[in-house]
Amino acid sequence: MIISDSPEATAAAGAEDARRAAVGDVVALTGDLGAGKTQFVKGFVRELGSSAEVTSPTFTLVHEYGGGRIPVYHFDFYRLDAAEAVVQLGFDEYVDGDGVCIVEWADRFPQLFPETTRWISLRSLSATERVIEQQEVRS
């Protein structure tokens, strides 16, 4: 468990997680609005060597970040109403592809994730503090 006291510290936690990233990894992020999921992804993407500007893909549903050690496929399931929409995005092909998938609002469709998924929960304690912890693997 990590206690983050700033957006920069949340990004640093994402960077720490990215240091062990490998092709085929899937990272599932959970947490309420404003919990720091996108900040975590910013650090994750930066640590893998991409200079791309990271923004939440809430309306586009997926952003692809290249130029680093491993491509990163950043999903946001917040606006999706059905698992079929995720399937239509080609989620399985991304998961089986050449990069790392990191998904905000992953708990909306947990049944779509491989057993090896790393589940990370972000929770607000106050206006500035966040708890970041890896959860038990879900099945």
SS3 string of the chain?
A: CEEECCHHHHHHHHHHHHCCCCCCCEEEEECCCCCCHHHHHHHHHHHCCCCCCCCCCCCCCEEEECCCCCCEEEEECCCCCCHHHHHHCCHHHHHCCCCEEEEECHHHCHHHCCCCCEEEEEEECCCCCEEEEECCCCC
Average pLDDT over residues 13-20: 96
Average pLDDT over residues 120-137: 89
Query: What pLDDT digit, counting tens, does each position of 26-48 carry?
Result: 999 999 998 999 999 999 999 99
Strands 62-65 and 26-30: what pairing?
A: unpaired
Centre a 10 Å sphere on the Cβ of residue 49 and count the other Cβ atoms it contains: 14
**85 class by beta-carbon count within 10 Å (0-12 exposed, 13-18 middle, 19+ buried):** middle
How far is Cα 109 from Cα 50, in angstroms, rounded to an integer? 28
**Domains of the chain as residue ranges with CATH:** 2-134 (3.40.50.300)
Q: What is the pLDDT of residue 139?
A: 47
Output the CA–CA distances (angstroms, integers) from residue 60 to 69, 76, 77, in the order listed: 24, 8, 10
Per-residue pLDDT at 105 exceeds 60: yes
Which residues, other chains included, contact 85 with Cβ-Cβ below 8 Å and sequence gap of 6+?
none
Query: What pLDDT digit, counting tens, does each position of 70-87 carry?
Result: 999 999 999 899 999 999
Average pLDDT over residues 44-69: 89
Per-residue pLDDT at 138 exceeds 60: no
